[in-house]
Amino acid sequence: MAPWLLLLAAACCPLGLATQPQLYCYHDSQAYWRRGSAQFRIRDLEESLEYCDKLVYGFAVVDPTSFQVKPLDSFLDSDEGRQHYRHVTNLKRPFPELQVLLSIGGRADTQQSSKYLTLLESAENRTAFISSARAMVRRYGFDGVELAWPFPELPPSRRAGFLGRFWESLKDYLSGRSKARRQKELQHRNGFSALVRDLKAVLQQDDMLLTAVAYPLVNNTAYFDIGEVMRHLDAVVLRAFDFTTPDRNHTAADLTAPLNATEHPGVPMSVVGMVQEWLKHGAPASKLVLGVPSYGRTWQVLEAPGNKSLPLAADGPGEAGPLTRTPGLLAFTEVCGNLTDGSCRMTPVMSQTQRDTQVGLRAYCRATRTWVALDDPEMAAAKARYARDACLGGLQLVDLSLDDFAGRCGLGAYPVLSEARCALRGDC
């Protein structure tokens, strides 16, 4: 970074925070199993690392009986299988400054998801987890752990407007559910704080990092004692996207990761809202990392959007793309291909209160009536500039395999990642 940029950062950010924001590159290992040109291999991963300060590899998971850590996909990741854990950490040889973290948990682990809460309820369970996590990262040469703890999402009734939340709270109070829920949340909050504290104490013996993930639509202030856990965590990744998805919101197509939005009490629904929630509760900006998606969410809308306001009436998720083969989701490669041949048209979405401020991006594919909410390279760069100007600790791109890693769109390989990196560092 140029010296004058460091001086500018020092002028804009609190004393001591004039350090380079870090780019965390997230990779879901299951992309290896995609077919044909969509398969994401170790050599594809290696080509991204010129942009990355840290690589986060997902996932390892928790055994529901022993509460020990194990690979999500033993055949792919373990030494007894295809050794991807080993291959990934060996990438530090050509990139000696790179740090590689193992992500544990995540929404991909659908086997008895309640086990993550059960683990927090017992010191014995936490000890089993910590011992096995340390053993695994040391065995395979990782530089730390990301805790992607899948705390439960708020039910739709608790994300509703004021009257809806008031009615649900009244019913909970009269039935006694409210008190029981708060007691359980407090137990899990204290258990997670203990887990973070004790795991960090073990990892720092080997100079390893510990980070955590905060997911959207979760009552994060109920499960994170923010002031306590931030003392021990090196960073918290705010997954400030997928606020709406076609799986949750079948009949309403909307932006999934708006930069800003009209917030309502209860749960943040935008990038700025989620960041401000954590800052308000005492999180240092320098330890917050902003998550940015490299993919689009899609809906089948009932009619062309025209100038209609959001959300749009929809009829479930959009058709699966030829590469990702997942209804309601398109990799950036799949979106930009449709934009290039003219079958889809992309339009910026402006703020309702500040008409000159772009808050998101949408595309509409007329032939299939598919509506897409996405972050293209320019939108990712806008979020990177926001993170830099807000003195955040960095950015995490989710996920490398959903960017245009092969450069099929004519923008070079990894266009979302490279533009985000350029804007985050302010050197382009």
Give tens-digit pLDDT for 187-224.
999 999 999 999 999 999 999 999 999 999 999 999 99
- Partners of 354 in the beta sheet? none
pLDDT at 166: 53
What's the chain's average pLDDT?
Answer: 90
pLDDT computed for residue 2 by the predictor:
35
Name the pLDDT band for 4 (thresholds 50, 70, 90): very low
Structure tokens at 106: 């995540």
- CB 118 within 8 Å of CB 195: no
Q: How far apart are CA 404 and CA 415, in angstroms?
A: 7
- What pLDDT is recorded for position 168? 56
Task: Give the pLDDT score at 418.
Answer: 98
Where is pLDDT greater, at 179 or 37? 37
- Average of per-residue pLDDT across 229-254: 97
Q: Are strands 288-293 and 394-398 parallel, antiparallel or unpaired?
A: parallel
Range scoring the smallest mean pLDDT among 117-121, 176-180, 272-276, 370-374: 176-180
Q: How far is 348 from 331, CA to CA, in rounded Å?
A: 19
What tokens appear for 395 in the block? 């950015």
Q: pTM here?
A: 0.92
Is the pLDDT at 6 greater than 60? The verdict is: no
Distance of CA 215 to the CA centre of its chain: 7
Sign of CA dihedral 162, 165, 171, 175: negative
**Which CATH architecture fits 19-294+376-425?**
Alpha-Beta Barrel (3.20)
3-state class (DSSP) for residue 219: coil
pLDDT tens profile 308-322: 889 999 999 999 999
Mean pLDDT of 47-74: 98
Q: Above 70 in pLDDT, residue 397?
A: yes
- What ranges do the domains of the chain cover? 19-294+376-425
Q: What is the mean pLDDT of residues 355-369?
A: 86
